[in-house]
Structure formats: C-alpha cells, structure tokens
Amino acid sequence: MAVVPGGLLGARTLIQASYFLTAVLFITGLKRMSSPLSARSGIVWAGAGMLVATLVTLAYPGMSNYPLIGAAIVLGGVLAWWSGKRVAMTDMPQMIALYNGMGGGAAASIAAVELYRGGGGSQVGTALAVAGGLIGAVSFSGSAIAFGKLQGLIRRSIRFRGQQFVSVLLLAGALLAGALEVLHGGAAGYVTGLLGLALLLGLAMTLPIGGADMPVVISLYNALTGLAVGFEGFALHNAAMIIAGTVVGSAGTLLTQLMARAMNRSLGNVLFSGFGEAPGASTGPLSGSLKPIEAADVGVMLAFAHKVIVVPGYGMAVAQAQHKIWELCQLLIERGVMVRFAIHPVAGRMPGHMNVLLAEAGVPYDLIGDLEQINAEFDTADVALIIGANDVVNPVARTEKSSPIYGMPILNADRAKNVIVIKRGQGAGFSGIENALFYLDNTRMLYGDAQKVGAELIQAVKALG
C-alpha cells in the first residue's frame, strides 16, 4: 500500500477544506443575489469564493506553468475590468451572453486538452470529459450567435427547409464521435470531430431563433455552461469546478424554466418554433387608431391622479431614462400620488434587466412589484405609464388565439383608467407583433425619446405648482 507523505496529505486536506469554503461562499452569494437589496453584497461574496478557489488551485501540488497562468489572469482581468466599466446598461444582455459563451468555451478547451492527451484516465473520466466538451462547445458557439443578434451584428434569423433534421444529424454525429472516443481513447480525429460538430450544433440551434426569445436562450446557455463546467470538474476530480458548475447549472435551469413559463412557452417551442424570427409578424389588422397626446396634458393627468403604475421596458433602457422617470415619480409622490412600478419577468433583453435599471436610479425596492404582485392593482390605477414596453402589455395574449403570444401572462395595463405609452415611433415590438393596447379608447401615445419626454413631463408637473 502506497504511503502518502504527511505534508502532502495535509496540503490536500487544506485544499479540500478551502473548496468547501468556496461552496459556502458561492451559495451564500447566490442566495443574496435573489434580492435587489442584497444583490451587490451577494456578488462580493461569490467573488470572494472564486478568489479562494483560484488561489487554492494555484497552490495545488504539481501545478506548473505559472508564468502562462499569470499572464492569462492579468490579461483576462484587465479586459474584464475595461469592458465592465465601458459597457452601457442597454448592452448588458449581450455582454452576459458573451461572457457566458467564454465559460462554455473554457470548459470545451479543458475537455480538448484532456481528451487530446489521452482522456480522463478511465472510460468514465473520458465520458465525463466528452460530455463537458460537447455541452461547452454548444454553449460557446450558441452564445456567440446570441451576442451577435443582441448586438445587431446578425439582423435576421436564418431558417431553411430541413433545418431541424440537420441539427439532429449534427447532434448524432457529435454523440457518435464522443462514443468512439470513450471506446478508443486518445484518438485525435474523434476529439476534433466531436468538438467541431458541437460548435456547428450551437450555430444551427441558435441562428433560427428570433430576437424575442433571446432572454430564454441566454438563460439556457447559462445552464449549459454550468453543466459543462460541472462535468469537467468530475473528470478532473476538482471540487471547485464541480461546485461552481452545479450552482450555475441549477440556477440557469430554474431561470430558463421561469422565463419560458413567463412567456407561456415550452423550451422546445422556443428552440424550434422560430417565433419572433423577423419583424413584421402580425395578428392581422387592428381596429381603432393611434391617438397622440402632448406632454403638458400628460403632466396634468399624472399630477392629479390618485395612483400611477409605471411599466418600464427596453425603450427606457435604450434612452437611459430611468433617472428622469424616477425624478418624475418623486415629484408625483410629493404631491400625494401613489406610485408603483410593474415589472414583467421578460421585460427588456434579459431576466432582471428592468430591476437593475431601477435600482441604478435609486427606486426603493418596496415600490417595485412583479407581475403576480401588482397585476390586480391596474384595475384601481388612474394612469398606467408605459415606457418602451410592448409585448408584455399586449392584450391579444389574453384574447387572440391565433397570436404567437397567446397565453403569455401579461401586465394588465389595459385595465387602468388611462394608459399613456411613451414610444419613439409606431413600430412593432421586439417580437414583430402589433400591440392592440395602443389602439384602445383609453390609450394615448406620447411619442419621443423617453429621457427627453421624461424631462418634459417633469417641467409640466412643476409648472402646476
């Protein structure tokens, strides 16, 4: 029986204890991120866990290549700090997609290194590395396409006859290459085929999906990246990777389910229906007309209202109008108006997008309600002020069975006494579907950039004394 030196045994024990601390920090951070009040500290807790895991891994017995590792850490850290400081809040969804793809690419790269040099030491280890490599490569290329769509680099969805059959063939080919690698470990051709087909599969899965479904797609690839990292952790017997991958994978899976449920769609429908693939989709001609209104008249309406519910959307994010809108709401609160903010789970371009914007502006958390909390209050609201939101307030989701969004839970803004829609133009929403709310008798359209309109409304309210 081999004898393990006491010093080495003690070092390994300390490393495993540190990984346990990492798990505690990760889970604590994730728990605190569930509330906007504690989310900032949650990021710090999770970051501390990652720092501990990184330092401990660098101290692992037998670790080498420190100059290369150090250079990679410095380069990655500088790029992350620079991009994080420069990115606009409206571009945060595509940044998340990009960073998530980097995680999947890292997992695939780890798998490639292990497999090219002979696998994971056993068929089980090789199988885990294969699974991590396949999933990571899919997440990498799929997230890259999601980034391109959100950034506007890819302006249309690409669909053709038999596309789903092609995706199935790519998946089958990748699985076959992976199985052959497990059976005949160390064959470079099988590894190359596995990773190449997986990258193509990610492209084939994501290119047909419309922009309206990108929040769900980002959540899905987030879950896949976590799963890939977890598999690689098992293959390498690295507890930190297992913990991080499991936490990210489970959180991403739950978030994906939440997003799909908020749209009343199954994951299969998101991946294969092509909903929202191009602008211009419509449920048919809508009755009524768009009725414009001036900012001065809206200011009077808001100032003398009893209850105002604000519904923010992507248009507010684009205009960076959250500060002006909150300044307006503070004026209304000072006049005795009850103000609430209504957030739909898929408002914006990613989960929690609107919550982050409102928190940035300093809106108290107790004024913000999600769909289930606030929907009943629209019946007693004097004004529903909609700022750049579209599909999440479209009443055809309740009434028109032929609509692609039929059955999707929406905010009941149409049930307010008056509806004011701040909108840059008369275009359809991100899904390309005309909004019947805009044509209702109680709806008025206030056209213009949300930040500029917000400033005009502030002046209109102040002018009333």
Active-site positions read 391
One-letter amino acid at 123 equals Q
Measured from the Cβ of residue 144, the count of other Cβ atoms closer than 10 Å reads: 24
Sequence-ordered list of residues with C-beta below 8 angstroms from that of 93, at least 6 positions apart, any chain: 150, 214, 215, 218, 348, 349, 350, 353
Measured over all CA atoms, what is the biggest interatomic distance in the chain, rounded to whole angstroms? 89
Coil, strand or helix at 207: coil
On the 0-12 / 13-18 / 19+ scale of CB atoms within 10 A, 194 is buried
Nearest to 216 by CA among 170, 264, 160: 264
Helices (H), 207-311: 214-236, 239-262, 267-272, 295-303
On the 0-12 / 13-18 / 19+ scale of CB atoms within 10 A, 227 is buried
Coil, strand or helix at 285: coil
Q: In angstroms, rounded to a whole number, what is the distance separating the alpha carbons of residues 330 and 363?
A: 9
3-state secondary structure 242-261: HHHHHHHHHHHHHHHHHHHH
One-letter amino acid at 68 equals L
Nearest to 195 by CA among 118, 106, 130, 125: 130
Q: In angstroms, rounded to a whole number, what is the distance separating the alpha carbons of residues 455 and 465?
A: 16
Find out whether 319 and 451 touch, Cβ atoms under 8 Å.
Answer: yes
